[in-house]
Amino acid sequence: MVQVKSNASYGEIFFYREKQFIPESKYLFWGKVSSDYYNSGIKFDLRDHKKYDEEDDEMLKYPFIPVYILSGELKRKWVKPLQLTKIIFSALRRYSQNISEVLSEEIINSYGLLSHKTAVLRTHYPKNFSDIETSRQTLAFEELFYLQLICALRKKSTSFESGISFKSPSEELFSLFSRNLSFELTNAQKKVIKEISSDMESSRIMNRLLQGDVGSGKTVVAIYAMLKAVLNGYQAAFMCPTEILAEQHYQTLKKYFDKFDVKSAILTGGQKKKLRESILDEIKCGKIQVIVGTHALFQETVVFKELGLVVIDEQHKFGVMQRAKLRGKGKNPDVLVMTATPIPRTLALTVYGDLDVSIIDELPSDRKPVRTGLRYEKDRIKLYEFIREEIRKGRQAYIVYPIIDESENTDLKSAVRNYEILKKDIFPDLRLGLVHGRMFWYEIDDTIEAFRKHEIDILVATTVIEVGIDVPNATVMVIEEAQRFGLSQLHQLRGRVGRGGEQSYCVLMTDNPNSIASERLKIMTETNDGFTIAEEDMKLRGPGEFFGTKQSGELKFTVADLIKDKRILDKAREAAFRIAEDDPQLRKVSNSAIRNFFSLNYSESMNLIKIA
Ligand code: ADP
Ligand code: MG
């Protein structure tokens, strides 16, 4: 607070817009203070001010006075920041006794939290810096607690319903299955197969997430689960995020299922009406035992005879709500969700908190870690020689261009233009192919198939090849303008090589060795561990961006911070799961605060409580 002097002058306080102030009155100012070297004094960059009145005295007793950032409907036109400070201060004074508790006393005590009211008051008017953090921690706990409570209740409610218990002697099936593989399963694969098998055999509904780094061999695990379902007389559905992936996976799955005399089929949007109808008929009568497709598999026209297992690949591309919808399709089918994107644990608990988790934490032993290097424009000639060298050895290469803006055609331009140049001027003697997102999916698919059959040496592409493509003979992955990609995306792309026994290479081309971007890219050269990269990526881009726009809404927290608050999340989860175990209907008097808060704020999830 400053008293304006009528003769305020240079050297005391210099007001730029002196006329706005009434001499001899007092004002509150808000702004940024910094030292002013020129005038060897203090510079005050004024943001807002308000005329002082006596009611302000109460507020001025506090060592910190909050300034609120105007957002949403609150425009500067209507209210100024310091005015808002005043309004909120009076609101807190008048109504804070009505702030009711949101957690039970037991939880507050055992986790050393503040009461909700105290946390709210101290967030606005802390007495010291540590108040700010302790009250924030309580609010973060509350926020994460309710999210986890929903997960816990969801999990609990499915455990009440009974699912299918697939019988089939696991030992026999397992050895039959293993005999038909051209490789030995890794211990990690065997471990998750056991976990999935016992889930499927139990009468509970399976809701399991299968996580594993790119190339860790999730597909065979899924095939095993589907085989188990089919041999028990049920159907299995394999759902992919895109038609290209569905087609790619179908090629792989079909080879396996043919060996076991299991009839598989693919359902896509591009199919002729007649073919589609006959497939639909065969799904309905149960002749088709395994069906591969996109989420279109869950349209009303698709009727299963007896759907027993749903496998969802690359789940993070679907969104949580879609997952819930899909479950209603069969009569409590088991669900196996797979993701190749290593997800930082905090994120996984948030998005997949109601699922059991199996992790393949080991790559097949014949794999050599992909060698990754950062290269610049000056290295381009050498790079081309290197690609040539590998192709001479009988290997294949990918060259990937970024999608700069999906709404414009810029991505096309760089991939298409460069494809022409590469084909005409750089590698006229080699066989090149091109795939990008504006081609029809079956065109893409034909080209990828040709690459797989080694009718193409170099596949020029946009990120359409990010996931699912499996060509073990490809050993070079060149990523142009690598700085434009997220780290996790680069890791996915890199995962397209190193899938066979040969040494593979990933070359990240970027603009300039000293840029911040190439600093960020260094982590790619230092580790091949998807989880480390994912953590790093989440720190850099934030949890919402990490998952892409589809799920960012579900990951928006007011107070909690998934990067900082890992331990709080663990505690909140523990508390929530204990409640769901002890008192799933929230009937105990001691949980009444939780019940009230839940019914007020999560009315759409009330069915989970099922209060009789
Ligand atoms: P991802 O986990 O990325 O989906 P895939 O299931 O596509 O991995 O497997 C990658 C490649 O590794 C495939 O070519 C697959 O046949 C092969 N593969 C899977 N398991 C093993 C194993 N235990 N030993 C050797 N190769 C394997
Ligand atoms: Mg896969």
Give the pLDDT confidence of 32-71 residue by residue, as tens digits: 888 877 767 777 777 888 888 888 888 888 899 898 888 7
Q: Could you tell me if 283 and 310 are in contact, meaning their C-beta atoms sit under 8 angstroms apart? A: no
Given its phi and psi angles, is residue 339 left (phi above 0), alpha (psi -120 to 50 degrees) or beta? beta
- Ligand 1 atom index nearest CA of 185: 23
Instruction: Provide the whole-model pTM.
Output: 0.73
> Quick check: CB of 501 below 6 Å from ligand 1?
no
Band (pLDDT 50/70/90 cuts) for residue 612 is very low
Q: Tell me if 500 CB under 6 Å of ligand 1.
A: no
d(CA 524, CA 485): 12
- CB distance 323 to 297 below 8 Å: no
Q: Which atom of ligand 1 is nearest to the CA of 222?
A: 6
| Closest to 298 in 3D by CA, of 283, 288, 285 | 283
How confident is the model over 98-143, as pLDDT tens digits? 999 999 999 999 999 999 999 999 999 999 999 999 999 999 999 9
Q: What are phi and psi of 112, to 5 degrees?
A: 60, 45
Residue 317 pLDDT greater than 60, yes or no: no
pLDDT band (50, 70, 90) for residue 566 = confident
3-state secondary structure 55-94: CHHHHHCCCCCCCCCCCCCCCCCCCCHHHHHHHHHHHHHH
pLDDT at 577: 94
The mean-pLDDT minimum among 177-191, 256-270, 509-523 falls in 509-523
Strands 26-36 and 41-51: antiparallel
Q: What is the mean pLDDT of residues 295-323?
A: 77
How is residue 259 written in tokens? 């060996």
Ligand 1 atom closest to Cα of residue 252 = 16
| Residue 450 one-letter amino acid | A
Q: Calculate mean pLDDT across residues 372-382.
A: 94
Q: Count CA atoms closer than 13 A to 414's CA, side-chain side.
A: 17
Q: Is any atom of ligand 1 closer than 6 Å to the C-beta of 187?
A: no
Distance 573 CA to ligand 2 centre (A): 30
* Contact of 82 with 67, CB cutoff 8 Å: yes
Ligand sitting nearest the alpha carbon of 311: 2
Find the 218 Cα to ligand 2 centroid distance in Å. 6
For 240-254, the pLDDT digits (tens) are 888 878 888 898 899
Tokens of 83: 């005015």
Length of the chain: 612
Q: What is the mean pLDDT of residues 1-6?
A: 53
Q: Burial letters for 542-562: b for 16+ Cβ neighbours within 10 Å, e otherwise?
A: ebbebbeeebeeebebebbeb
Arithmetic mean of pLDDT, 221-238:
94
Ligand 1 center from residue 214 Cα (angstroms): 9
Ligand of minimum distance to the alpha carbon of 256: 1
Provide the percentage of residues in the chain whose pLDDT is more than 70. 88
CA 66 to ligand 2 centroid distance, Å: 50
Average pLDDT, the chain: 85
pLDDT above 90 covers what percent of the chain? 44
pLDDT tens digit string along 411-450?
Answer: 556 788 899 999 999 999 999 999 987 788 788 889 999 9
Which mutation among 174, 177, 185, 219 tests ligand 1's pocket best, with the greatest number of atoms within 8 A of CB? Answer: 219
Tell me phi and psi for residue 505, to 5 degrees.
-135, 145
Q: Is the CB of 186 under 6 A from ligand 1?
A: yes
Q: Among the atoms of ligand 1, which is closest to the Cα of residue 472?
A: 14
CA distance 177 to 404: 44
- The answer, yes or no, to whether any atom of ligand 1 lies below 6 A from the CB of 342, is no
- Cα(215) to centroid of ligand 1, in Å? 5
Question: Distance between CA atoms of 595 and 538, rounded to whole angstroms?
Answer: 33
Report the 10 Å Cβ neighbour count for 95.
9
Is 151 exposed, middle or buried, given 0-12, 13-18 or 19+ CB atoms closer than 10 A? buried
